[in-house]
Amino acid sequence: MELSPVLRRIRDFYFKEALAAPPGVTHVHRPGLVPEQQLFSLEHLRRHLNNPLLDVNYLNLFHAGKTVDLADARLYKVVQRRKIAFVDRRILQQHLADGAACVLEGLDILEPEINTLATVLDRAHAATFCNATAFFSQFGNEAYRGHVDTDDVLVIHMAGEKRWRLHARQKPRRRELNEMSEAQMGATDADVVMRPGDVLYLRSYTPHRVETLSPCSLHVAFDLCDRQPSVEMALQLLLSHYDRESATPLTPTQGVVDKLFELSKSNPYAADLAAMLARDKTSHAEFRKLLDDNRITHLDRFIDASRRQQR
């Protein structure tokens, strides 16, 4: 895969510096790594928000720490008995004018070059599958308050200035992740000010809070999501093995659990778990390739022929 100089520098930073950082390091910050980046910008954001085919499911607005209900912005026109959806941008405009923050999801679907970078980042681990999201905020209003992310995050800063207050890394968990108080966030680890062209790698379970220092700020975050089969999927698979080879009746509950643990270490279960992971990895790769090829080329020859006639 041929990468642009910008993408190569981001790739090399992630693989050679971020992933190689000592275990106790919460983050790696590289100021000015890609000052000429054109992956995403305020102009890109405006274009997507003004797209007549904008799907509100891609979009979240936040004001005063609360999610804005965009139900009233969903409109439609009936054409040949079909509802053709579109967005009432007056509502988006009013909330943004009032200082709302905007989170645009699915950048890997919307922007081919971002999907290219996501494809490279996916290769870091056995089953990484990135989400790419744009965060636009205005002075005095952020999308999220103190929180931790359950996956590592790679941040590329596009516009404005934003302070990241980072705290000591915490133990993994699946609850009490958001709306964290200062006490819950714990000891401060570092203050990082992000400016255009800066890149930041943030390890999972590092509590952080951000603050826009300029009139507005824009960054793109790649959530480096762990897409290995979840504990729920692994347990469901294990129970299917237990259905075929269960404990005898009247076995004490502890004995049943011991039987489950015994099956979890068996070769057939390991093989099925590996097959599940392989299917998921294949599906993720097919998704990236689909996005890479997901365009109409049939009209190209007609357009080229028309241009030749006009010369």
Task: Reduce the DSSP state of residue 247 to 3 states and report it.
Answer: coil
As a whole number of angstroms, the longest Cα–Cα distance in the chain is 87
Q: What is the pLDDT of residues 161-174, one digit of tens each?
A: 999 999 999 999 99
How confident is the model at residue 65, as a pLDDT? Answer: 82
Q: Write a three-state SS string for 191-217.
A: EEEECCCCEEEECCCCCEEEEECCCEE
Please identify every stretch of the chain with a pLDDT value under 50, giving residue numbers as ranges: none
Please state, in angstroms and rounded to a whole number, the distance separating the CA atoms of residues 199 and 192. 11
Q: What is the pLDDT of residues 193-228, one digit of tens each?
A: 999 999 999 999 999 999 999 999 999 999 999 999
Task: Reduce the DSSP state of residue 58 to 3 states and report it.
Answer: helix
Residue 132: strand pairing partners: 222
Task: Reduce the DSSP state of residue 219 to 3 states and report it.
Answer: strand
As given in the structure block, the two tokens for residue 138 are 């205005």
How confident is the model at residue 168, as a pLDDT? Answer: 96
Amino acid at 114: I
Which regions of the chain does DSSP assign to beta strands (E)? 27-30, 59-63, 66-67, 74-79, 82-87, 101-104, 131-138, 152-159, 162-167, 188-194, 199-202, 208-212, 216-224
As given in the structure block, the two tokens for residue 289 are 């390739």
How confident is the model at residue 252, as a pLDDT? Answer: 96
How confident is the model at residue 126, as a pLDDT? Answer: 85
State which H helix or E strand residue 45 sits in. helix 42-50
How confident is the model at residue 2, as a pLDDT? Answer: 84
Q: What are phi and psi of 124, to 5 degrees?
A: -70, -35
How confident is the model at residue 116, as a pLDDT? Answer: 96
As given in the structure block, the two tokens for residue 128 are 């990484």
Amino acid at 196: P
As given in the structure block, the two tokens for residue 177 are 């992740």
Is residue 132 within 8 Å of 220, Cβ to Cβ? yes
State which H helix or E strand residue 119 sits in. helix 112-121
Which regions of 203-266 does DSSP assign to beta strands (E)? 208-212, 216-224
Is residue 32 within 8 Å of 197, Cβ to Cβ? yes
Is residue 226 within 8 Å of 205, Cβ to Cβ? no
